[in-house]
Copies of this chain bind each other. A is one copy, B any other.
Amino acid sequence: MNTSEIAQSTAQVISKEDLLKHWQGHRSLTRKVIEAFPEKEFFEFSIGGMRPFSALTSEFLAMGAPAMKGIVERQEEPYQENSEELTTKAQYLEKWDRATEDINKYWGQLSTENFSETFNLFGAYNFPVIQNILYLIDNEIHHRGQGYVYLRALGIEPPFFWER
């Protein structure tokens, strides 16, 4: 056994591949939540002065794939929401699917070593890459939970949380 083989056999809390699968599972659930909204309510419905689900989805889209591009290319481009104007759910879903592919592509360019390196994401969040990535995932779960309340308040059954 040489050094490289020993390294490869070392246990991981979570592998790079499994963390991507975990994130994409969550993104697949968020896609179902977008689909569950009626067209009008996706853009207009809100509670307590919070943003409608379309605006939350714009945030997810401005974070996920652009963040991964920044991390991989070491480009500290500032955070930019609504880089394209989207006015229908169908346009959001199409951009969602492009982001899914982009995230997979950039993820493939990360090494396990990269996760512990510090990177100033969007020129503003100077943390280890793993922390920046967990923030992307957690922020989506957090605001999607908000979307679940919107759907329930609209009398719509949301998708099961464990359905990925």
Residues of B within 8 A of A148 (CB): 142, 145-146
Q: In the bound complex, how far is the Cα of B10 from the Cα of A12, in angstroms?
A: 9
Q: Is the CB of B11 within 8 A of A113?
A: yes
From B7, B19, B26, B141, contact of A145 by CB (8 A) = B141
Residues of B within 8 A of A14 (CB): 13-14, 19, 115, 130, 134
Residues of B within 8 A of A135 (CB): 162
Q: How many residues of A contact B (CB 8 A)?
A: 45
Q: In the bound complex, how far is the Cα of B16 from the Cα of A130, in angstroms?
A: 13
Query: Which of the candidate stretches A43-51, A77-85, A94-102 sits at the interface with the other chain?
Result: A43-51
Q: Is the CB of A47 within 8 A of B13?
A: no
Residues of B within 8 A of A144 (CB): 142, 145
A49 to B, closest residue via Cβ: B152
A149 at the interface (CB under 8 A from B): yes
Which of A13, A16, A19, A151 is most buried by chain B, counting CB atoms within 10 A of its CB? Answer: A13
Q: Is the CB of A48 within 8 A of B153?
A: yes
Residues of B within 8 A of A3 (CB): 6
A18 at the interface (CB under 8 A from B): yes
A39 at the interface (CB under 8 A from B): no
A48 to B, closest residue via Cβ: B152
Q: Is the CB of A112 within 8 A of B149?
A: no
Q: Is the CB of B11 within 8 A of A50?
A: no
